[in-house]
């Protein structure tokens, strides 16, 4: 479970954030927000721990650790509204499909926007 949670956290790109609960759900463990915190606490390194926040975009870490988290997020271009991250701009959607090349349908047509149909 902890490894799956850590892997899910690594999917959060630079400039985006997710809540503990979002990570748990995306990893297939809805309701396991506390286990996300545990997975981060026991992680070795290379995990973007600073991109995981409390509900509503709150930094949950106390003192210097919380200040470091905010500084790291601001360095990635994450905007705050007071003490909270602007989740409308920076929340990562684990369900969204990555943008890339359009798939080509049989017959050489693509399925991109603007295709007028048959």
Per-residue pLDDT tens digits for 33-58: 999 999 998 888 889 999 999 999 99
Residue 114 is predicted with a pLDDT of: 40
Dig out the tokens for 10 from the structure.
């690594």
- 41-68 as b/e: b if 16+ CB within 10 A: eeeeeebbbbbbbbeebebebeeeeeee
Query: Model-level pTM?
Result: 0.79
Show the CA angle centred on residue 4, arms to residues 55 and 20, nearest 5°: 5
pLDDT in tens, 76-103: 999 999 999 999 999 999 988 766 555 5
Residue 32 is predicted with a pLDDT of: 95
């Amino acid at each position: 479970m902890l490894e799956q949670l850590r892997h899910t956290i690594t999917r959060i790109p630079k400039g985006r954030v997710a809540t503990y609960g979002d990570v748990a759900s995306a990893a297939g463990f809805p309701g396991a927000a506390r286990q996300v915190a545990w997975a981060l606490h026991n992680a070795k390194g290379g995990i973007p721990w600073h991109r995981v926040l409390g509900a509503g975009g709150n930094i949950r870490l106390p003192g210097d650790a919380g200040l470091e988290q905010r500084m790291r997020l601001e360095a990635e271009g994450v905007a705050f509204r007071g003490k909270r991250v602007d989740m409308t701009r920076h929340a990562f959607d684990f369900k969204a499909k990555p943008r890339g090349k359009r798939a080509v349908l049989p017959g050489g047509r693509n399925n991109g926007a603007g295709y007028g149909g048959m």
